[in-house]
Amino acid sequence: MEAQAHFSREEINSTVWEVPEKYTRLKQIGTGAYGSVCSTTNEKTKAKVAIKKLHRPFQSEIFAKRAYRELRLLKHMKHENVRNHLTVHLTIFSLQSLFLSYLVMPYMFTDLSKVRGHLSEDKVQFLVYQMLLSNHHSAHFLLQDLKPGNLAVNQDCELKILDFGLARSTDAEMTGYVVTRWYRAPEVILNWMHYTQTVDIWSVGCIMAEMINGKTLFKGKDYMDQLTQIMKVTGVPGPEFIQKLDTPEAKSYMKALPRYPRKDFSALFPRASVQGIDLLEKMLVLDGDERPTAELALEHPYFDSLRDPDDFPEPAPYDDSHDNDTLSLDEWKRKEVKSFVPFPRRDSKRKNTLTMSP
């Protein structure tokens, strides 16, 4: 636990930030549905860091559960391709007014959404390898929102996952909602069948295709247009796949589609190597049961020059028993304090700002 810190207050783009004084010259570098991110420098260590301010983490039970889950996953995922947080700042007036404000994390140079143009094959190989490694090490839950904006990279092409706000246990019930539709697996779009961790493999395939061609592969205007664009590349599946679908509506929809043939991936990705095309063809398959797991994808010859046995320690088991909890807002707040404050404390009516390392 750090010593008591002095805090400074600053307004950035109509958002009030209250952070320890050692963090200076805050500059907003990103914003999304669940939080805003600023870059800054730790004046004590001279290290550049990124600070994520969560948007209204205790607005409702759902928001509180999401914040709790993200902190648990970040705490659990001790892997070089996950942006582990350094510290958590809690601002406490009382239990009723508790809000978890900020995650302080290592700063990364940019994210993949800001990388323009074609990438060389060795860079594509290295980045996709790291994405699959992070997926392999998260074997007990779905990342579910893999997209270029959630993948930070530095000048050495090292990659880290930024956001675990939508991650779910592999056994948890999920809906078809994900933040960005362009990278969604087709089974997520229509929630048409039970799905597994290969939803993330689809997302990796979409991101790999984008890095090779320099443009988004499936840029649908809405749900239906997204699915149509996917079918024009993958082809419309036959009756065996249609029988796997969970609802009569999904089966009828698929049967009514025009008979699009599967596209020739070598023509679709003329800059890709033979091995790169083969990997893409395996990841971008409509039937999630036919896609490789991250472990199998990492065994593909495309990664022969990168594979290292030390990259594959056994993933640590993750306790997902909390993912199905249905609690009141105050109960979620108590859980936050119990899990991330390293010593027992009583509620106080006096404002008390704590800085701690979970």
Check the annotation: does 65 bind a ligand: no
* Chain center to CA of 269: 26
DSSP run (H or E) holding 352: strand 352-356
Is residue 131 within 8 A of residue 149, CB to CB? The reply is: no
* Chain center to CA of 349: 36
Cβ-based neighbours of 276, under 8 Å, separated by 6 or more: 121, 124, 125, 208, 212, 269, 302
In the numeric block, which tokens belong to residue 17?
């930030």
Is residue 38 within 8 A of residue 23, CB to CB? The reply is: no
| 3-class DSSP state of 290 | helix
In the numeric block, which tokens belong to residue 25?
């010259």
User: Is residue 145 annotated as part of the catalytic site, yes or no?
Assistant: yes
Question: How many other β-carbons are positioned within 10 Å of the β-carbon of residue 30?
Answer: 18
Among 111, 145, 200, 323, the active-site one is 145
Phi, psi (5° rounding) for residue 278?
-60, -40
Q: How big is the CA angle at 309 (ends 304 and 312), to the nearest 5 degrees?
A: 110
In the numeric block, which tokens belong to residue 305?
């020059």
Question: How many other β-carbons are positioned within 10 Å of the β-carbon of residue 312?
Answer: 13
Is residue 7 within 8 A of residue 21, CB to CB? The reply is: yes
Tokens 């590349």 belong to residue: 233
Render the burial of 277-288: b for 16+ CB within 10 Å, e for the rest: bbbbbbbbbbeb
Rounded distance between C-alpha atoms, residue 330 and residue 317, angstroms: 28
Phi, psi (5° rounding) for residue 35?
180, 170
Rounded distance between C-alpha atoms, residue 60 and residue 90, angstroms: 17
> Annotated binding residues for ATP, as ranges?
53
Known catalytic residues?
145
- Binding site as annotated, residues: 53
